[in-house]
Amino acid sequence: MQIYTIEALLLVFLIFITASIIYCRDILSSVYIYSAFSFCAVLLYLMMGSPDVAFTEVVVGTVSTIFYVISLKKIDRWCK
Amino acid sequence: MMKDPFGGIILNIAFRMLVPFSVVYAVYVLILGESSPGGGFQAGVVMGFGIVLARLILGEDTVQFNIQAKNSLALAGFGTFIYALAGWLTLFGGGKFLDYSFLPFTAEHAHELHALGILMIETGVTICVMMTILNIMDVLVRRSEDDGSVQ
């Protein structure tokens, strides 16, 4: 029963993190919050019993965070 | 490995510990991908992450195993070619496409041929994914420097 509680808590975290990614005015901050989204998704995948998907999410989340930060050199950081 | 410090103690230690660990761990993930979590795609992303990290810390000019943009694009195609070559070898051996039991190598059991074929196609996937990540990073960095024009 406790595992379901943790899972529900992580799902609520995912919803709040997604809302804060969408409504954040600073794109650099939303990139960092996206890595938190990736971490919660990894924990959920591990609880659901698929370590392969969790491993993929770890590596792709890390590399895509690097790419987003690099592409911020081109575009403006603040949403107008 | 670099002899003298190149950018603060944190970057120095991070480079010396993280980059070799990433590349060696990618090979581990590739080899043990059949019986444990992992495989070609994850190994390629981890290996590409090691080189991207070296390029971020050292800069694009001083990194020693730097791969140019046109070479990375060609090597991505080469990885795809390795994948297709495994299929063609099984076709020449008399089986269907990617039917590993018909690989033209000598082995005692069919399991060894199966493992060999899977290792071959996962090596191809690893090279393709790693070079694609390096090419994406090349394009991103060059676009930000060059006023939107890709060379």
In a domain, A76, yes or no: no
Contact B44, B135 (CB under 8 A): no
Select from B49, B141, B144 the Cβ nearest to the Cβ of A63. Answer: B49
pLDDT in tens, B100-122: 888 888 888 888 888 889 999 99
Contact B14, B54 (CB under 8 A): no
pLDDT band at B5 (very low <50, low <70, confident <90, very high): low
For B140, how many CA atoms within 13 A lie in the half-sphere containing its CB? 18
Angle (CA) B42 B72 B147, round 5°: 110
The residue among B52, B60, B132, B134 with the most chain A CBs within 10 A of its CB, best to mutate, is: B52
B90 φψ region: left (φ > 0), alpha (ψ -120 to 50), beta (else) = alpha
Check pLDDT > 60 for residue B130.
yes
Say if residues B41 and B141 touch (Cβ distance below 8 Å).
no
User: To the nearest whole angstrom, how far is the Cα of A45 from the nearest Cα of chain B?
Assistant: 13
Position B141 scores a pLDDT of 83
pLDDT in tens, B47-106: 999 988 888 888 766 666 678 888 889 999 999 999 999 999 999 988 889 888 888 888
Domain total of chain A: 1
Q: Give me the half-sphere count of Cα atoms (radius 13 Å) on the Cβ side of residue B24.
A: 6
Residue A55 lies in a domain: yes
| Dihedral angle, C-alpha B125, B126, B132, B136, nearest 10 ° | 140
ipTM associated with this complex: 0.83
% residues pLDDT > 70 (chain B): 85
What is the residue-averaged pLDDT of chain A?
Answer: 92
Helix (H) or strand (E) holding B1: none
How many of the other CB atoms lie within 10 Å of CB of B46? 28
Give the per-residue pLDDT at B151.
Answer: 47
Any bridge partners for residue A26, and if so which? Answer: A78
Banded pLDDT at B146 (limits 50, 70, 90): low
In angstroms, rounded to a whole number, what is the distance separating the alpha carbons of residues B23 and B77? 21
DSSP bridge pairs for A78? A26
Q: Does residue A62 lie in a domain region?
A: yes
pLDDT of residue B82: 95
Segments making up each domain of chain B, as ranges: 8-145
- Distance CA(B1)–CA(B65), nearest Å, equals 11
Has residue B33 got a pLDDT over 60?
A: yes
Flag whether A79 is in a domain.
no
Q: Rounded mean pLDDT of B1-13?
A: 70
Domain span at residue A26? 2-71
Q: Do B141 and A70 touch (CB under 8 A)?
A: yes
Distances (CA, A) of B72 to A39, B14, B68, B133, B137: 30, 25, 6, 9, 11
Residue A12 in domain = yes
Residues A14-37 have pLDDT tens digits of 999 999 999 999 999 999 999 999
Provide, as residue numbers in chain A, all residues whose Cβ is less than 8 Å from the Cβ of B141.
70
Has residue A80 been placed in a domain? no
pLDDT number for residue B55: 85
Continuous segment of H or E residues that includes residue A34: helix A27-47
How high is the pLDDT of residue B59?
Answer: 75
Distance CA B19, CA A45 (A): 27
**Across the interface, do B39 and A71 touch by the CB < 8 Å criterion?**
no
Q: Find the closest chain A residue to B44 by CA distance.
A: A59
